[in-house]
C-alpha cells in the first residue's frame, strides 16, 4: 500500500464534479487500500477520491465512537439523503470541522443531524448507511468533495477574510499543491 499526496484547496480536482466509478477491478481495490493508508497516516476520519487527485465518486471513512466501537468502510457512487440542517449559528466547539485538503484549520459549520448514504462497495454490493451526529457530519463532508465542494465553501461569509489570509499566507489556491502525511510537510 502507498500513502498518497493529499491535494490542497485550489487544486482543480477539488472543485470539479467527480465522475461515477465504472470499473470494479484491481486498480480500484489498490486505490481504496491506498486511500485507507493515506487517511490513517494523515490522520483523518474520511478521504474522498478527489482529495488524492482521482476525480471519481468514492470515499473511505473511519471513526471510533465514544465507546471505542470502530466504523470503517468505503462507499462508491454514493447518494446522500439528509434531514434539513437546523437553523441558527453553528457552535464553535460542537460544530467545529476540519479538512485534510485545508490542513491545520478548523471552523464551525452547521450540518444535518441525520443522513442516509446509499451506494456500493468494492464488490458492487449495495451499501446503506444511516448515521447521525459526527458520523453524519463525516458522510456529508466526504460527499461534498464528490460534488467539488470543500467545507470552507459552506462557511458563513464572516470567515471570508480569514480564509483569504490563510490561503495567501500558505501559497494555496494554485494547481498542484499537496502534502504528504508521511513527511507531514506541505509540497507545492
Annotated binding site: 99, 141, 145
Catalytic choice (105, 130, 142, 187): 142
Q: Decide if 179 contacts 186 (C-beta within 8 A).
A: yes
Q: Is 28 left (phi over 0), alpha (psi -120 to 50) or beta?
A: alpha
State whether residue 123 is helix, strand or coil: coil
Contact 136, 84 (CB under 8 A): no
| Torsion-angle region of 100 (φ positive above 0: left; ψ -120 to 50: alpha; else: beta) | alpha
- Mark whether 130 is an active-site residue: no
Residues in the annotated binding site for Fe cation: 99, 141, 145
Question: Which of these, 75, 44, 81, lies nearest to 146 by C-alpha position?
Answer: 75
Task: Show which residues are catalytic.
Answer: 142
Amino acid at each position: 500500500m502507498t500513502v498518497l499526496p493529499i491535494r490542497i484547496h485550489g487544486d482543480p480536482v477539488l472543485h470539479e464534479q467527480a465522475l461515477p466509478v465504472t470499473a470494479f477491478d484491481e486498480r480500484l481495490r489498490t486505490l481504496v487500500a491506498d486511500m485507507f493508508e493515506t487517511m490513517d497516516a494523515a490522520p483523518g476520519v474520511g478521504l474522498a477520491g478527489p482529495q488524492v487527485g482521482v476525480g471519481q465518486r468514492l470515499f473511505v471513512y473511519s471513526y471510533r465512537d465514544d465507546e471505542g466501537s470502530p466504523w470503517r468502510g468505503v462507499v462508491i457512487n454514493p447518494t446522500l439523503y439528509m434531514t434539513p440542517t437546523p437553523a441558527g449559528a453553528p457552535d464553535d466547539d460542537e460544530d467545529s470541522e476540519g479538512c485534510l485538503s485545508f490542513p491545520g484549520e478548523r471552523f464551525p459549520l452547521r450540518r444535518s443531524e441525520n443522513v442516509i448514504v446509499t451506494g456500493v462497495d468494492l464488490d458492487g454490493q449495495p451499501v446503506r448507511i444511516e448515521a447521525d451526529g459526527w458520523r453524519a457530519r463525516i458522510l456529508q463532508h466526504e460527499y461534498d468533495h464528490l460534488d467539488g465542494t470543500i467545507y470552507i465553501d459552506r462557511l458563513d461569509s464572516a470567515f471570508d477574510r480569514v480564509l483569504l489570509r490563510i490561503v495567501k499566507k500558505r501559497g494555496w489556491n494554485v494547481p498542484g499543491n499537496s502534502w504528504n502525511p508521511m513527511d507531514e510537510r506541505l509540497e507545492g
